[in-house]
Copies of this chain bind each other. A is one copy, B any other.
Amino acid sequence: MSTPESQPEKTSARGKRADAVRNQQVLLDAAGEVFVTSGIDAPIREIAAKAGVGLGTLYRHFPTRADLVTAVYRHQIEACAEAGPKLLAEADLPFDALRQWIDLFVDFLVTKHGLADALQSESERFAALHTHFLDRLLPVCAQLLDAAAAAGEISSDVRPYELLRGIGNLCIGRDSDPRYDPRRLIEPLLQGLRPHAAPGA
């Protein structure tokens, strides 16, 4: 399925009633907005109210908060994952592809701010989101990293998980602070991975 945006999403579809499908989407939209406004720990009621549905409906579609959070960010993750190979194919140098992909990744984390927080959450409840996130993005990141290493553009032994995690961390709290722009740190971090930069350490 190459265009996930074009369908009501696999979370529902199937023999469902039309209004049920519609509610699903309405809830996802509402939750996404509320997560940005009030964080992913926002009162369930607030989300249901914003969606204009009853509490029970929300619970029916997303029994746990984690289900909702996961569903909300699945799109983002999917699109990001798909961009990796494409960038690699298009770029002249693998390192450029990596840089562009991370830029995209940062875009997601920063524009849909809730995500970074969600991924950060210590709670067991978001294990599913974590898992999905890693399952989908770790291979992509690894591919890019490997390609750059194979081309001799990277000397560091940084692991994909570390990199993803670190970039994610750097993006936390970006919105609330105009003095802080994660990209101004990410660029040197990437440069630091290059071969010529490692006389010390």
- Taking Cβ atoms with an 8 Å cutoff, the residues of A that contact B are 39, 95, 99, 120, 122, 156, 158-159, 161-163, 165-166, 169-173, 176-177, 179-182, 184-185, 187-194, 196-198, 200-201
Contact check, B173 vs A170: say whether CB atoms are below 8 A apart: no
- Report the separation of the CA atoms of residues A191 and B158 in the bound assembly, to the nearest whole angstrom: 14
- Report the separation of the CA atoms of residues A122 and B38 in the bound assembly, to the nearest whole angstrom: 9
Contact check, A166 vs B170: say whether CB atoms are below 8 A apart: yes
- Nearest CB of B to A29, in Å: 21
Contact check, A165 vs B180: say whether CB atoms are below 8 A apart: yes
Contact check, B122 vs A188: say whether CB atoms are below 8 A apart: no
- Report the separation of the CA atoms of residues A159 and B182 in the bound assembly, to the nearest whole angstrom: 12
Q: A169-B171, A191-B192 are in contact. List 9 more A-B contacts (CB 8 A).
A: A95-B200, A162-B179, A162-B181, A165-B179, A166-B170, A166-B182, A166-B185, A192-B193, A194-B200
Residues of chain B contacted by A197 (CB below 8 angstroms):
188, 191-192, 194, 196-197
Residues of chain B contacted by A95 (CB below 8 angstroms):
200
- Report the separation of the CA atoms of residues A149 and B147 in the bound assembly, to the nearest whole angstrom: 34
Contact check, A162 vs B187: say whether CB atoms are below 8 A apart: no
Residues of chain B contacted by A191 (CB below 8 angstroms):
191-192, 197-198, 200-201
- Report the separation of the CA atoms of residues A177 and B193 in the bound assembly, to the nearest whole angstrom: 23
Contact check, A185 vs B196: say whether CB atoms are below 8 A apart: no
Residues of chain B contacted by A190 (CB below 8 angstroms):
192
Q: Can you spell out 16 A-B residue pairs with CB atoms less than 8 angstroms apart? A: A122-B176, A158-B185, A159-B184, A161-B179, A162-B184, A165-B177, A165-B179, A165-B180, A169-B170, A172-B172, A188-B189, A188-B193, A188-B197, A190-B192, A191-B198, A197-B197
